[in-house]
Structure 1
């Protein structure tokens, strides 16, 4: 496999493993982020969320569909940033497909008429995959003593 293919695989692996992200949208002239439970669909090159028709993020996306998803596993020192375009769908079959425990905190059933699907089509990603907090600290300390730059793991920019 090429580096590009490996890096793309790594993006989807990390997104799937981390699972939760901060969804950043534009609200007028401000930028706003909120935590969301993500459902990655590598084959479709899409990330899905369940959202409520009355939420402000839906209004933000209707005006400014460019969004950013920031995934972070701080204990494992693994991070992914996805940039792409968003759309709101009233796809009842997809809602049933995505229905899981996190959704039950917000709605009683997948048949709630206020549920919508938020679909993100990523166009660009960047990931940071470090060996973990303890190892990273050891590498930083060793680098500080030797004046060398520490190897902090993999970092790549990926066109999607």
Structure 2
């Protein structure tokens, strides 16, 4: 498979360091601003990648369906009690959840701690019939496991979309100046 030239070019500029992106000091971003930015990215991404640490100490990422719920500092997923992911989180609750929307130039990485609660009201809130594919018993299936990620921190990148990013990169190549590829910020939650 041929490498994507767009991703190769982005990688080239990313290697040039953070100066390739316009950044503002964390002190200027309030928790409310951060939550608003994070919520807008989460809302636009249907599937997130949840990364856990296996018993062997390896990182393992898997896709999870993003819940149609406003982000408030916690992320919720529905998983299976007998899955490797849930076993990983039970033993080693530190996780990472990443979101990617290349068409909008939005990327987000959230670090947090996983909890495995039992909450029938929360399950009712999050449930959709799509989950019947995974759980034959519906909402009463004994293998259903709620997953709550309490966020500790996040880093996000927001650009103006693929076309604008390509333009900025081309401009940077011609002028030999670092392009403005959007904003990048790290926040402690």
Residue 89 of structure 1 aligns to a residue in which SS? coil
Q: Could you say which residue in structure 2 is the equivalent of 1:130?
A: 159
Name 1:27's counterpart in structure 2.
54
2: CA distance between counterparts of 1:103 and 1:33? Answer: 20
The aligned length equals 158
Structure with greater strand share of residues: 1
Residue in structure 1 matched with residue 182 of structure 2 by the alignment: 153
Contact 2:49 2:64 in 1 (8 A): yes
Describe how 1:104-115 pairs up with structure 2 within 5 A. 104-108=132-136, 109-115=138-144
Counterpart Cα distance in 2 of 1:107 and 1:124:
32
CA deviation after TM superposition for structure 1 residue 19, in Å: 3.3
Q: Is the 8 A contact 1:37 1:102 kept in 2?
A: no
Q: Which runs of 5+ in 1 are unaligned?
A: none
Counterpart in the other structure of 2:4:
none
Coordinate RMSD, CA, aligned: 1.5
Among 144, 147, 172, the alignment partner of 1:143 is 172
Corresponding residue to 2:148 among 96, 106, 119: 119
The 3 A distance-change label for structure 1 pair 77 and 102 is farther
C-alpha distance 129-101 of structure 1, shift in aligned 2 (>3 A):
farther
State the partner residue of 1:72.
100
Q: Could you list the structure 1 runs, at least 4 aligned residues long, displaced by more than 6 angstroms after superposition.
A: none
TM-score, structure 1 normalization: 0.92
Following superposition, the deviation at residue 16 of structure 1 comes to: 1.9
| Residue segments in structure 2 that go unaligned for 5+ positions in a row | 1-27
Tell me the TM-score normalized by structure 2: 0.78
Alpha-carbon distance in structure 2 between the residues aligned to 1:82 and 1:96? 25
